[in-house]
């Protein structure tokens, strides 16, 4: 066995380490279809956990799920100029609706469409069109809709989970009678995302509005949650857009107010995607593979029977089944503990390492000696793989929720400390340059989150571009002092977060 | 108020009645994108209920969810000749990956793809390709995978839920070491579908193999469950395909057996779709709109507070909230009863009719007089809309599971009686002709399920074609006697079901 299950390590080659963690945990793989990924059962089970939690949160805040067409007519896209501009370069276009076999036995597209259709890169235009039919009066508002769907944005340099041509996501779309309500909704969903990231994924995030250049095409204001990966780069983990009346005007979403006068609606949209699986991997995993926060772990506990003789096998399996039952009757985060017995007939070491690499929070070995002593041998994924503790079998099921809570707190704390260690308030462009050139001497990557006074001005982006750094957002939380933009000298009320990013 | 909430009635114009039920229940609507539908929140909530139940059944039978690319390269389709032939005429084809604005301000597709991509009409070929990479040895088998996804089959005459260019479905794909195991899997999933249809949708179905001409393109055997709609037509509600080694050969899915010799796998696929929502509508609904079987009803009970003064409102709402809590603590079909208070400020009659048209199984009115008498006024969706019963409020929550079970049994029984009434064993082609020409004198549509001895022979299809009748399947259940094909005279072991169909 090498020192670590994953080669290369994070320090040796961070991007390659990421690919190897994905492979070792059997989460996904690139597909033969250019830019598209195949999400394998373990990766999809993590996404299902994320969906279940988010879906409950969306419904608790009054949203309903619906489903809108995959295809968008070109004429819809044309209506919002900035929106088209933002997405035109990455649209998959359907131009034909049948195939014919050529005399050479090759399939050839036929049945040319009068108007080509775009495979949705996002659904503001098609959902806006439907909203315009559904809204007549202020009584029909607010409209609060969410869609779980696949979207396509053509991608020349795909990276599994982080950037793929097709990905899975949810997109919320809402329409309101007033600007205030729409802004409130935008911020409410930003909060839902931040709560989900911090509570369920154990990923600390910074929330705030993005500069104009980084806005969603067509939005008045884009808010994001930004997380730090272990190479110091930022990953935008969710966005919530206040769309003003831009899409309402483009799509004709009008309502008659109480006085009868017609007005345009105010709309929002917000989304998170399978990218979050990538965020979880890069936040928590180590050189032994995936580390899963308990709330999204498909299995929170794996029971590993150890035996040599058929009699031992029977005894040990019976004990495992009793423990499984007890654990299923126990709750963590308002749900029964998810437990799995792995009784496959294979070498114990190999089996254990599979679960290490797949990120199961608690591994529990049970053998004849344990049974005799009335104990189980427990290993935590957040601790070194050989650090075992013997716990009494009698109280074990009752202890599991506490252990999972401790792991969850530990992962969050560790990620926040890491982020804090790699964050710095900086007060000159020179200091920013030095920071991202490696002044900090970090083990992986250079720089981190630079908290800097900058104006929302093209000159700032131009100055940061050579450093491959962008303004991620203007943090909404925590105390801050006004200052002057380090590039333009304009006065600004707060610092922004500058970082390299995924 | 007219006699009925839906106009036209079933007897007046069945196809139009269907559209009006969909509209009145606010389930879905045609979209401006040709052939595609928008599934509205109430329709989508029904689909979510179906998904939740089926997903549990798939997992309980050992399947795992995964996700595969939306796009399929033409070269994959070409590999299985019958498969291509079956789907070529209805494939949406992506030929470009970007858009540019022309000088006239029109969007034009650019970035032509070297190899066009088809939007998946089904995923045997792409999933088969992945399977060929995942399977090496017999130890890797069986592979039991399911995917929840959208698919596209270009459709010239769309009908909401029943036949749309894009629809939502699940597709199971499995690979096995032996023919026997694959056949067993095919039949196991057919049984899962039949159980789901009869238990959860209260739709009686007939299961059996289809004749060669009706097989899934590329399958060795296709089994279906067939349900009868209220116009006597059959609706294929789910299919399970034994694919033999056809796709394994086309895609190269090979494994080394225990002896080391390489063999091709045996594969299956099986699916149900949003079409099931159409099946539910057409099986149970009446001239007042949708009727939902309780297990898939998004709300099983709606509480309707009735009041005039603010004091009454407060009292009545408090009673509703108590009842809501009690109901949520009660179980039906192993889940908490789903209940909703509708306290909207609108005319009582209009509100009640909305719930009638939306198919809520139980409507419960609570007013000051009820409170004084200690009762609630209950109306069942499977009984006439004015047939009320006063039930004591004290025991009401405890009585609800029994009421829901009674409704469920009643709906199933009614549908089965209807089907039996419109089924007939027929022993000559002449009798079949007469049957489908209206000899039975049915109120809606002509004929029904004709149980007839026919061979699996092209001559049978040719003889039935002028009647617009097809062989739906050869029922696997019930006693039956051998006979001679009414068209060719060949001896056949069992009768088949002949019907018009959706």
Q: Kindly report, residue by residue over A91-122, the tens digit of the pLDDT.
A: 999 999 999 988 888 899 999 999 999 999 99
Tell me the two tokens of residue A360.
């199961």
Task: Output the pLDDT for position B300.
Answer: 98
Contact A51, A169 (CB under 8 A): no
Give the pLDDT of residue A238. 98
Fold of the domain built from segment(s) A301-399:
Rossmann fold (3.40.50)
Residues of B whose CB is below 8 A from A92: 71, 94, 96-97, 117
pLDDT reported for residue B97: 96
pLDDT interval class at A217 (50, 70, 90): very high
Residue B76 CB partners (closer than 8 Å, separation 6+): B125, B126, B129, B251
For residue A108, what are its two tokens?
Answer: 């050839």
pLDDT range class, residue A470, cuts 50, 70, 90: very high
B66 contact A CB<8A: yes
Q: How do A496-499 and A449-452 pair as beta strands?
A: antiparallel
User: What's residue B139's pLDDT?
Assistant: 94
Which chain A residue has its CA at the smallest distance from B152's CA? A70
Mutate to test the interface with A, among B71, B120, B251 (most CBs of A within 10 A): B71
Residue from B48, B84, B94, B358 whose CB has the most chain A CBs within 10 Å, to mutate: B94
pLDDT in tens, B175-207: 999 999 999 999 999 999 999 999 999 999 999
pLDDT greater than 80 at residue B83: yes
The minimal CB distance from B166 to the residues A36, A64, A69 is found for: A69
Banded pLDDT at B2 (limits 50, 70, 90): low
- pLDDT confidence of residue B104: 85
- Does pLDDT of A137 surpass 80? yes
Q: By the 8 A CB rule, do B270 and B258 touch?
A: no
Q: What is the mean pLDDT of residues B123-152?
A: 97
Q: What is the pLDDT of residue A2?
A: 60
Q: Tokens 């997903």 correspond to what residue?
A: B55
B23 or B1, which is more confident: B23
CATH code 3.30.930.10 region(s) in chain B? 14-69+122-284
What pLDDT shows up at residue B204?
98
Looking at chain A from residue 420 to 459, which residues have their Cβ under 8 Å from any Cβ of chain B? none
Q: How far is CA A25 from the centre of its chain?
A: 17
According to CATH, where is 3.30.930.10 located in chain A? 14-94+123-284
> How many Å lie between the alpha carbon of A74 and the closest alpha carbon of chain B?
7
Q: Smallest Cβ distance to B78: which of A31, A107, A117?
A: A107
Contact A90 B72 (CB under 8 A): no
Nearest CA among A445, A442, A435 for reference residue A498: A435
Cα dihedral sign, B192-B193-B195-B200? positive
Domain with CATH 3.40.50.800 in chain B: 295-418
For range A11-35, the mean pLDDT? 96
Q: Count of CB contacts below 8 A, A vs B?
A: 182
Q: Quick: pLDDT tens for B290-312.
A: 999 999 999 999 999 999 999 99
Q: Which of B91, B93, B150 sits opposite A70 (nearest CB)?
A: B150
Over residues A126-150, mean pLDDT: 97
Listed in order, the ranges of chain B carrying CATH 3.30.110.30 are 425-499
What pLDDT does B101 receive? Answer: 87
When pLDDT is cut at 50, 70 and 90, the band that residue B440 belongs to is low
Residues of B in contact with A252 (CB under 8 A): none
Element (H, E) at B305: strand B301-305
B36–A77: do the CB atoms touch at under 8 Å?
A: no
Write down the CATH number for the domain with range B425-499: 3.30.110.30
Assess whether pLDDT exceeds 90 at residue A495.
yes
Scanning every residue of chain B, which has its alpha carbon at the shortest distance from the alpha carbon of A35?
B69
The answer to whether B46 faces chain A, any CB pair under 8 Å, is no
Q: Is the pLDDT of residue A211 over 90?
A: yes
What one-character DSSP code corresponds to residue B284? H
CATH number of B295-418: 3.40.50.800
Helix or strand (DSSP H, E) at B95: strand B93-101
Nearest residue in A to B41, CA atom:
A66
pLDDT of B106 reads 86
Residue B235 has pLDDT above 90, yes or no: yes
Question: In 3-state terms, what secondary structure has residue A447?
Answer: coil
Q: Of all residues in chain A, what percent carry a pLDDT higher than 70? A: 99
When pLDDT is cut at 50, 70 and 90, the band that residue A479 belongs to is confident
Give the integer Cα–Cα distance in Å for A51 and A67. 16
pLDDT digits (tens, 9 = 90+) for B319-374: 999 999 999 999 999 999 999 999 998 887 899 999 999 999 999 999 999 999 99
Tell me what percent of the residues of chain B surpass a pLDDT of 70. Answer: 99
CATH architecture of structural domain B14-69+122-284: 2-Layer Sandwich (3.30)
How far apart are the C-alpha atoms of A37 and B94, rounded to whole Å?
A: 18
Give the pLDDT of residue B443. Answer: 82
What is the average per-residue pLDDT within B492-502? 97
Per-residue pLDDT tens for A444-464?
988 999 999 999 999 999 999
Q: In angstroms, rounded to a whole number, what is the distance separating the alpha carbons of residues B99 and A78?
A: 11
Give the model's pLDDT for residue A165. 97
Label residue B479 by pLDDT band (50, 70, 90): confident
Peptide bond between residue B408 and the one before it cis (omega within 30 degrees of 0): no
Kindly list the residues from chain B whose CB atom is less than 8 angstroms away from the CB atom of residue A117: 33, 92
Subunit contact A126:B31, Cβ cutoff 8 A: yes
Specify whether domain A14-94+123-284 bears CATH 3.90.1150.10. no
- Contact check, Cβ <8 Å, B92/A90: no
Closest CA to B61 of B223, B242, B185, B181: B185
Class of domain A424-499: alpha beta
Q: Which residue has better confidence, A84 or A279?
A: A279
Taking CB atoms and an 8 Å limit, are B33 and A119 in contact across chains? no
* B-chain residue closest to A92, CA distance: B97
Helix (H) or strand (E) holding A432: helix A429-434
Selecting from A48, A95, A130 the residue whose C-beta is nearest the C-beta of B109 gives A95
A65–B84 CB contact, under 8 Å: no
At B338 the pLDDT is 98
Confirm or reject contact between B144 and chain A (CB < 8 A). Answer: no
Query: Percent of chain B beyond pLDDT 90?
Result: 91
Q: What's residue A440's pLDDT?
A: 66
Is it true that the peptide bond before A8 is cis, omega within 30 degrees of 0? Answer: yes
Say if CB A175 and CB A265 are below 8 A apart.
yes
Q: Give the nearest partner residue to A44 out of B41, B67, B92, using CB atoms.
A: B67
């Amino acid at each position: 066995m090498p020192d670590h299950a994953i080669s290369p390590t994070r320090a040796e080659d961070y991007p390659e380490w990421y690919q190897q963690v994905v492979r070792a945990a059997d989460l996904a793989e690139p597909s033969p279809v250019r830019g598209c990924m195949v999400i394998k059962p373990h990766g999809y089970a993590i996404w299902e956990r994320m969906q279940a939690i988010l879906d409950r949160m969306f419904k608790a805040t009054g949203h309903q799920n619906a489903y809108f067409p995959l295809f968008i007519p070109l004429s819809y896209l044309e209506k919002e100029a900035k929106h088209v501009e933002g997405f035109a370069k990455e649209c998959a276009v359907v131009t034909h609706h049948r195939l014919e076999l050529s005399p050479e036995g090759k399939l050839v597209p036929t049945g040319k469409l009068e108007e080509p259709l775009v495979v949705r890169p996002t659904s503001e235009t098609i959902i806006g069109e439907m909203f315009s039919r559904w809204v007549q009066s202020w009584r029909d508002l607010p409209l609060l809709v969410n869609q779980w769907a696949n979207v396509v944005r053509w991608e020349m340099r795909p990276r599994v989970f982080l950037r793929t041509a097709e990905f899975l996501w949810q997109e919320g779309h809402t329409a309101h009678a007033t600007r205030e309500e729409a802004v409130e909704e935008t911020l409410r969903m930003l909060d839902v995302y931040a709560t989900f990231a911090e509570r369920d994924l154990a990923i600390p995030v910074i929330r705030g509005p993005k500069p104009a250049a980084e806005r969603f095409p067509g939005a008045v204001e884009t808010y994001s949650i930004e997380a730090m990966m272990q190479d110091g780069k930022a990953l935008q983990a969710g966005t919530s857009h206040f769309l003003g009346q831009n899409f309402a005007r483009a799509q004709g979403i009008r309502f008659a107010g109480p006085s009868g006068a017609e007005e345009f609606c105010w709309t929002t949209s917000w989304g998170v995607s399978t990218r979050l699986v990538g965020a979880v991997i890069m936040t928590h995993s180590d050189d032994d593979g995936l580390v899963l926060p308990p709330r999204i772990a498909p299995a929170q506990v794996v029971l590993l029977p150890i035996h040599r003789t058929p009699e031992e096998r029977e005894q040990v399996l019976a004990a495992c089944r009793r423990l499984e039952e007890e654990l299923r009757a126990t709750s963590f985060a308002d749900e029964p503990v998810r437990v799995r017995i792995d009784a496959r007939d294979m070498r114990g070491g190999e089996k254990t390492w599979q679960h290490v690499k797949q990120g199961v929070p608690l591994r529990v070995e049970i053998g004849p000696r344990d049974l005799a002593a009335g104990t189980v041998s427990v290993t935590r994924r957040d601790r070194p793989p050989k650090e075992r503790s013997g716990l009494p079998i009698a109280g074990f099921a009752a202890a599991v929720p506490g252990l999972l809570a401790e792991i969850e707190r530990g992962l969050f704390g560790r990620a926040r400390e890491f982020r804090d260690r790699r964050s710095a308030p900086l007060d000159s462009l020179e200091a920013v340059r030095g920071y991202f050139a490696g002044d900090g001497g970090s083990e992986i990557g250079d720089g981190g989150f630079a908290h800097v006074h900058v104006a929302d001005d093209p000159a700032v982006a131009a100055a940061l571009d050579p450093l491959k750094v962008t303004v991620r957002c203007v943090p909404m939380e925590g105390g801050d002092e006004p200052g002057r933009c380090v590039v333009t000298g304009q006065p600004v009320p707060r610092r922004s977060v500058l970082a390299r990013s995924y």
